[in-house]
Chains A and B, each alone.
Chain A
Amino acid sequence: EPEVTQTPSHQVTQMGQEVILRCVPISNHLYFYWYRQILGQKVEFLVSFYNNEISEKSEIFDDQFSVERPDGSNFTLKIRSTKLEDSAMYFCASTPWAGDTQYFGPGTRLTVL
């Protein structure tokens, strides 16, 4: 069964450094998402992406964040200058069409020191 994959599984970085989290959505899916879960807290929506542009973004998704679909398979989340409070599990999700099941990847645990 097709799955959403994410790399790396764990990323450790120094505060102020740039990180890129990578996702490969399910191949025939058209809508892509990033969510994050700070330890012990709820899963929070960050951004949705469709037709090569951002559909919606949350208040969390400020100018330090960006997303890109550089080719036909990868979907990336970049954090330009990481802060301690960016430490969280970041999940990528995809769905074939809006309003359908969102399939989540296994997550990337980001630790900012």
Chain B
Amino acid sequence: SQQGEEDPQALSIQEGENATMNCSYKTSINNLQWYRQNSGRGLVHLILIRSNEREKHSGRLRVTLDTSKKSSSLLITASRAADTASYFCATDRDDYKLSFGAGTTVTVRA
């Protein structure tokens, strides 16, 4: 299966702390995308990292990609209550359809 798999399944942190979640996948990819989903709502695109990139930043988000280990990580720094959501990685092979993982549910406690 091409699907990304996130780890951990759930994460609970204090406001102000950093949150790190990981994604592993099985075959070569064109790019990997991270999305956020608030409960029952739509998918908000966070960041795209291409297979020839190793790290990208966007605001408080940092994404790394290790193609040799077929893994990616998403770091959210200085978390806020509004970061409470489910986070998904989605891999895109050359067929350009996204394969999603099961997600990491992040709860930020005030």
Contacts and interface: CB of A to CB of B under 8 A. Distances in A.
Contact of A45 (B45, B94, B99, B103): B99
A42 B98 contact: no
Q: Which of B41, B48, B96, B103 has the most chain A CB atoms inside 10 A of its CB? A: B96
Nearest to A101: B48
Interface of B: 3, 30-31, 33, 35, 40-45, 48, 88, 90, 92, 94-103
Q: Is the interface of A mostly helix, strand, loop or mixed?
A: strand
Contact of B33 (A44, A48, A102): A102
B98 A102 contact: yes
Contacts of A48: 96-97
Contact of B102 (A33, A42, A93, A109): A42
